[in-house]
Structure 1
Amino acid sequence: MNTAIITGVAGQDGMYLARRLLARGWRVVGTTRPGSTSPVRMRPYLRGVDVVEADLRDTERFAELVQAHRPEAVFNLAGFSSVGRSWGDPALVLDTNTTVVASMLEILLRHRDATGHDVRFFEASSAEIFGSQVSGALDEDAPHRPRTPYAVAKSATHHLLISYREKYDLFACNGILFNHESPFRGQQFVAGKIARAAAEAACGLTPTVTLGDLDVHRDWGAAIDIVEGIRLSLAHDRPMDYVLATGASHTLRDMIEVAFSSVGIDDPSPYLRLEPGMWPTTQADALLGDASRARTELGWTARRSFAELVGDMVHVDLARLRSGVEEDEGYLLRSELQVPAARAVTL
């Protein structure tokens, strides 16, 4: 049985990827931050996953996991994830999102030298690497102009991975992930806040969502689609970097309208409070991805529409509010779990 290590397995991407690999006959070892409440919250979705605590910065712990489990693949989906909060501790962001990855790559190199076993490695990069002064659809060759500590760290890691791939012939891939959501994304993120507010309004409550610029454009995809691109990138016969995006742009205003209209509310304005200063000038006003390489090389494409994604998020939150149960395996749509049959030796 092939084994994968997924860091950050209790996040939306880690959870979806773990389930996808389990369905294809893989054994999955997933790491979570010590003391985190996420594994408890996500427990209904992680059945069958060997969940272990491991601080991302504890590289000796990572080396022990690699030695003990001899994985065929490592998916690094953990790290410091808040762009705005990255200004609060830039050193921590660089350590967690860059220095740690350098150590991981070194550990995989030493493991290969000692055992002859080559581990495939995926790094979750971000569209934020392209910076604030961008226009048009962005592909893998678009220049990096990072303008936040988070983006700087992700850009440095992106180039570091390419350097290791070229120098040591590691099978290592960057996935340049554009915004993606699901009903299992934390409510500390804006899409989760909007979905929950729409669901609460449909239940007769009076929520208030505080937002900045409603005309910010993003390429929003469904996490389950993005995760399939992540899986395919390590299943390919050669390592490459891939933009994973839908190729369609929407605004926060669009998201609000779709979310509230999905529960029959045509005017969401009573539930909104605007604070224009909330949106940092260092973040891009618009980000749009060009996933042509992933489409050509991997046969990957985003399948779910923006309206389907937002509607799913709202209606899962409605189920949560009406049942009083925040997390239940039944909230995962059957269609999201069905994957083509495949031999266990393939990703």
Structure 2
Amino acid sequence: MAPGAALAVLDLGHRRISIAVGRPAEGLLFARTFPGGGRDLSRALAAEFQVPLAEAEAWKERDGSLAPGGGPEHERARTALVRALAPLVREARATLKAASGREHPPVARLLLAGGTARLPGLVEHLGTELGLPADSLLLPAAATAVVPPEVQPRAAQAYALALRGAMSSARAPRFNLRQGEFAFRGHVDYLRERLIRVAAFAGVLALLLCVFNVSRAILLGRRETAVDARLCALTQRVLGSCEKNYDRALNLLRGQQSPAAAVPSVSTTRLLAEVALRVPPEVTVTFGQMVFDLDRIQLRGETDSTRSIDKLAAALKTYRCFREVKEGKVERARDSSRVQFTLDVQVDCGDAVASAGSGS
């Protein structure tokens, strides 16, 4: 590869694919991660051969290959793998195109890493599809004694993280699993931190509750004072004395010696309306005389039959103030088939009523 040319590393994991573009002298220039990887290949094989996913995964690890040749079953599996790799190729091509802008040189070489990169024929297939020289990513010679060459693409990410952790520069700080954000914290420390937050939240909540109760008490006190003032003004005007107790004021207003005692609970106009309202619609009745007092009603009229009189009396009894409805004299009209009747209604609404104020 020419000096200064860009290099792309394609990390093919099981569920995730990462692309890193950079130059050895400058470091990372562009990076992107998107979903996909070996699991999609296993799913494609499982769907093609109608086998469980675990069995397809084992077959891919043992006999999977993108190299041409082999029997019909191999060619069928190769076609399924190529079809499953199509989204990966499309995303990788778009990423490499975006990384090769005006400010960066085009990518000159592609290196494959990750567990899926060990699939036979995958390096050649991606190199052909992307139009780049492709090869598997191998570790430095110092790591060959520890990591065999056939598993080095899979161990590339772990080696890179270990190498970064061994660096001591400010640009690449050392990983510390004892301190900082990656440090292990036991259950007691974790609970202690959470308990402090919960206690602070409970304190704020208790403070807000106290403020709410104090505010509500002040508002209710003001409303109670306003109601007492209104009740005092009312009793002062009616009774001549100020009374702030509601029950006592109500008893005084209902008492026999109060000015409100002379006000009847119902008026003769209300009684007339109740009588008119309770006449059944199927009863044809004509009232010749209606006398209304606050404790008694006398009705004279005529209707078509005695049954209509009974219906009328039963309907009047449904009103709570009509305690008793007595039928008077019933006789046949001289010049017609209708009957004449009288009804005497006793009025009692349960409250004291005035004896004056009658009308007819």
TM-score (normalizing by structure 2): 0.24
TM-score normalized by the length of structure 1: 0.25
Larger radius of gyration: 2
